[in-house]
């Protein structure tokens, strides 16, 4: 009896020690800041990808629903051949940037890591897998319950371990850098303390003096999809001040503009960056990241900033100014739903869960709509300058040669804002069916297949996509005999 008592005590002590020792895996520090190294847009090989046709994809959140819908759009892009620079290429090969959040980050990350292998492997590795059930089994295993007892190891850390072993096979950003080719895939999470977007690119990790190359893709995806309540935020260590990092000149200038209110958006971005490099009492030793949908449920905020600002790590506006881009294609895959509710059929006060869920999703859906409209307005404004100068030159020419103007003509760009959304399903009954698919990481195989199919269908029906195809002399791989 005494022996059994001591054995039991020894097991208990070991268990408690194990729980105390469990912690999040630290992101590696950066020895020295190098703006020409790491995972950056300008460090990726362009290959045959042309800047003249610049294609951006954004994948929204929505669990497995978003992953399947985004994957279906990728399949359609792969199967779409275009005539470009006297050669026939897949439109997917012309994609330059993919920005994603939450459920949409799974196919985006897999494509960044494995390229075209995604079409052979991803459905069985993720889409058809009962991820949610598998995670619940992991959470309730005795060994993992002990790990979860640690204050610095949460459910999302455990989910990241599962994704790392079962989905991404241990792939890290070092592997993505080694591939070294476009598209530039940006997985987005939310800085929980600031409510701002946090992107898994080296420019963001420079602020932390951390080396992104040592971070597993699975951990980035887990942060991007850490849905509040169901999953916990993930912690990343901040080593700011240890790598000789230098903020860009615009940051200090923008921060000084705070009182003048000249450019509040630029000032806000500068203050976001400065909050990560602050010293003294304001220093943030750890950064806690939660679901990317909290800050931007479309994954479009980063691309919009790139299109509207030259002070961005991969500025599309600078490329426009340099006359490198002729056609700008932005394909937004939005898996937002609008489940039927009996809330408005009764005078009863909505419950706590209903209220919190609505507060978290409805404002974001409205913000998403405004983001899409701002994108269109931005490019329209860019082109209006060229139209104004052209009109002035024509008017001056009517007054005689002595009135002719010699003004440098701004570069015009054609925008193709392609929108993939359940809202655009024409059949009302079918539209209602898709808009009532739950947000889950486990769906029936038939539902997943229908999502893949509707993604392809909605892409082919989009009016801007049709216009793009007309201009690029569309050639479908399924009809090679007529190309």
pLDDT digits (tens, 9 = 90+) for 287-324: 999 999 888 888 988 999 998 888 888 999 899 888 89
As a whole number of angstroms, the distance between CA 44 and CA 53 comes to: 17
CB 96 within 8 A of CB 54: yes
Q: What is the pTM of this model?
A: 0.87
Q: Which band of pLDDT confidence, cut at 50, 70 and 90, is reported for residue 364?
A: very low
pLDDT category of residue 82 using cuts at 50, 70 and 90: confident
Percent of the chain with pLDDT over 70: 80
Residues 158 and 171: their CA atoms lie apart, in Å, by 16
Q: What is the mean pLDDT of residues 188-195?
A: 94
With the C-alpha atoms ordered 42, 46, 51, 53, is the resulting torsion angle positive or negative? negative
CB < 8 Å & 24+ apart, contacts of 370-377: 371/296, 371/298, 371/300, 371/301, 371/304, 372/298, 372/300, 372/332, 372/417, 372/419, 374/304, 375/300, 375/303, 375/304, 375/307, 375/330, 375/415, 375/417, 376/415, 376/417
Strand runs labelled E in 350-432: 414-421
Highest mean pLDDT among 74-88, 254-268, 463-477: 74-88
* Bridge partner list, 451: none
Pairing relationship of beta strands 80-84 and 87-90 according to DSSP bridges: antiparallel
Beta carbons within 10 angstroms of residue 156's beta carbon: 24
* Residue 200 in tokens: 């898994």
pLDDT tens by residue, 373-406: 777 777 677 667 666 666 666 666 666 665 565 6
CA 369, 447, 117, 473 torsion-angle sign: negative
| Amino acid 177: pLDDT | 96
Which of 108-122, 244-258, 334-348, 446-460 shows the lowest mean pLDDT across its residues?
334-348
Q: Is the pLDDT of residue 262 over 50?
A: yes
pLDDT greater than 90 at residue 63: yes
331 neighbors 418 (Cβ within 8 angstroms)? yes
Asked if 198 and 64 touch (Cβ cutoff 8 Å), the reply is: no
Question: From residue 397, how far is each of 386, 392, 403, 407, 409 by CA, in Å?
Answer: 17, 9, 6, 13, 15
């Amino acid at each position: 009896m005494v022996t059994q008592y001591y054995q039991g005590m020894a097991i208990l002590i070991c268990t408690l020690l194990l729980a105390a020792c469990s912690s999040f895996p630290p992101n590696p520090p950066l020895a020295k800041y190098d703006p020409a190294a790491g995972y950056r847009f300008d460090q990726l090989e362009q290959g045959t990808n042309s800047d003249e046709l610049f294609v951006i994809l954004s994948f929204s959140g929505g669990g497995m629903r978003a992953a399947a819908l985004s994957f279906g759009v990728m399949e359609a892009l792969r199967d779409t051949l275009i005539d470009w620079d006297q050669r026939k290429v897949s439109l997917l090969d012309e994609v330059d940037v993919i920005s994603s959040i939450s459920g949409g980050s799974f196919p985006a990350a897999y494509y960044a890591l494995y390229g075209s292998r995604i079409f052979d492997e991803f459905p069985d590795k993720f889409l058809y897998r009962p991820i949610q059930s598998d995670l619940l089994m992991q959470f309730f295993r005795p060994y993992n319950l002990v790990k979860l007892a640690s204050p610095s190891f949460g459910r999302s850390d455990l989910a990241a371990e599962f994704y790392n072993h079962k989905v991404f096979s241990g792939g890290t950003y070092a592997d993505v850098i080694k591939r070294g080719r476009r598209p530039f895939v940006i997985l987005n999470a939310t800085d929980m303390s600031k409510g701002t977007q946090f992107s898994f690119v080296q420019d963001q990790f420079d602020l932390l003096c951390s080396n992104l190359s040592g971070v597993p893709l699975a951990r980035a995806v887990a942060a991007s999809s850490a849905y509040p309540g169901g999953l916990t935020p993930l912690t990343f260590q901040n080593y700011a001040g240890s790598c000789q990092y230098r903020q860009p000149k615009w940051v200090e200038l923008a921060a000084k503009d705070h009182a003048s209110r000249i450019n509040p958006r630029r000032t806000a971005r500068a203050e976001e960056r400065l909050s990560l490099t602050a010293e003294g009492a304001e220093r943030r030793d750890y950064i806690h990241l939660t679901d990317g949908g909290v800050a931007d449920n479309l994954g479009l905020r980063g691309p919009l900033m790139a299109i509207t600002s030259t002070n961005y790590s991969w500025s599309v506006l600078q490329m426009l100014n340099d006359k490198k881009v002729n056609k700008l294609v932005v394909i937004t895959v939005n898996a937002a739903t609008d489940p039927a509710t009996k809330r408005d059929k009764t005078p009863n006060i909505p419950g706590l869960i209903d209220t919190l869920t609505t507060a978290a999703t409805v404002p974001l859906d409205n913000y998403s709509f405004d983001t899409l409209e701002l994108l269109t307005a931005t490019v329209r404004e860019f082109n209006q300058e060229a139209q104004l100068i052209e009109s002035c030159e024509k008017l001056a020419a009517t007054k005689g040669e002595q009135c002719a103007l010699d003004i440098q003509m701004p570069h015009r760009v054609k925008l193709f804002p392609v929108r993939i959304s359940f809202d655009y399903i024409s059949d009302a009954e079918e539209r209602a069916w898709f808009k009532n698919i739950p947000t889950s990481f486990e769906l029936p195989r038939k539902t997943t297949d229908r999502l893949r199919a509707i993604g392809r269908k909605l892409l082919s029906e989009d009016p801007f996509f049709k216009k793009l195809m007309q201009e690029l002399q569309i050639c479908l791989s399924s009809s090679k005999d007529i190309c």
